[in-house]
Amino acid sequence: MALRTDQPSTVPLDRGITRARWVLCVGHAVDDLYQGAVPALIPYLALARHYDYAAAAGITLAATLLSSLAQPLFGMLTDRRPVPRLIPYGLALAGLGIGLSGLGESYLLTWLAVALSGLGVAAYHPEAARAARAASAGSHVAMSWFSVAGTLGFTAAPLLVPLVVESGGVAATPLLAVPALVMAVVTGYALPALRRPRAAGPPAPAGAPASTDQWRPFLRLSAVIMARSIIAFGISTFLVLFTQQRLSAGPHTGQAVLLTFFAAGVLGTLWGGRLAERHSRVRIMRVAYLATVPGLLVLLFAPGHWLLLGAAWTAVALNVPFSLHVTLGQDYLPNRIGTASGVTLGLAVSVGGLAAPLIGTLADRTTLQVALTTLLLCSAAAVLLTIGLHDPTARDGRATSGG
Question: pLDDT confidence of 195, banded at 50, 70, 90?
Answer: low
How far separated are the first and last CA of the chain, in Å rounded? 37
Residue 26: pLDDT above 70? yes
Return the pLDDT at 81. 78
Kindly state the DSSP code that residue 400 receives in the 8-state scheme.
B
User: Between 125 and 96, whose confidence is greater?
Assistant: 96
Return the pLDDT at 209. 40
Mean pLDDT of 150-163: 83
Question: pLDDT confidence of 92, banded at 50, 70, 90?
Answer: very high
Residue 139: pLDDT above 70? no
Integer Cα distance of 9 and 330 in angstroms: 17
- How far is CA 54 from its chain centroid? 22
User: Between 225 and 78, whose confidence is greater?
Assistant: 225
Sorted by sequence, the CB contacts under 8 Å of residue 189 that are 6+ apart come out as none
Q: What percentage of the chain has pLDDT greater than the value 70?
A: 85
Question: pLDDT confidence of 14, banded at 50, 70, 90?
Answer: very low
Return the pLDDT at 56. 82
**Least confident window among 45-49, 242-246, 316-320:** 45-49
Return the pLDDT at 335. 86
Mean pLDDT of 163-180: 91
DSSP-based three-state secondary structure for 391: strand
Helix axes 281-301, 215-247, angle to 10 degrees: 20
Question: pLDDT confidence of 208, banded at 50, 70, 90?
Answer: very low
Q: How many CB atoms lie within 10 A of CB 198?
A: 8
* Most confident among 85-99, 145-159, 319-333 (mean pLDDT): 85-99
Residue 403: pLDDT above 50? no
Question: What values do phi and psi take at 171, rounded to 5?
Answer: -70, -10
The 3-class SS string of 101-155 reads CCCCCCHHHHHHHHHHHHHHHHHHHHHHHHHHHHHHCCCHHHHHHHHHHHHHHHH
Integer Cα distance of 95 and 236 in angstroms: 20
Question: pLDDT confidence of 18, banded at 50, 70, 90?
Answer: low
pLDDT tens readout for residues 346-395: 766 677 777 888 898 999 999 999 999 999 999 999 999 999 898 887 65
Return the pLDDT at 284. 94
Residue 198: pLDDT above 70? no
pLDDT tens readout for residues 278-314: 888 999 999 999 999 999 999 999 988 899 999 999 9
Question: What values do phi and psi take at 302, rounded to 5?
Answer: -70, 145
Return the pLDDT at 394. 62
User: Between 209 and 122, whose confidence is greater?
Assistant: 122
Question: pLDDT confidence of 194, banded at 50, 70, 90?
Answer: low
pLDDT tens readout for residues 237-277: 899 889 988 888 877 888 889 888 988 988 898 888 888 88
Residue 9: pLDDT above 60? no
Return the pLDDT at 203. 45
Give the C-alpha distances (Å, rounded to integers) separating 204 from 147, 213, 399: 22, 9, 12
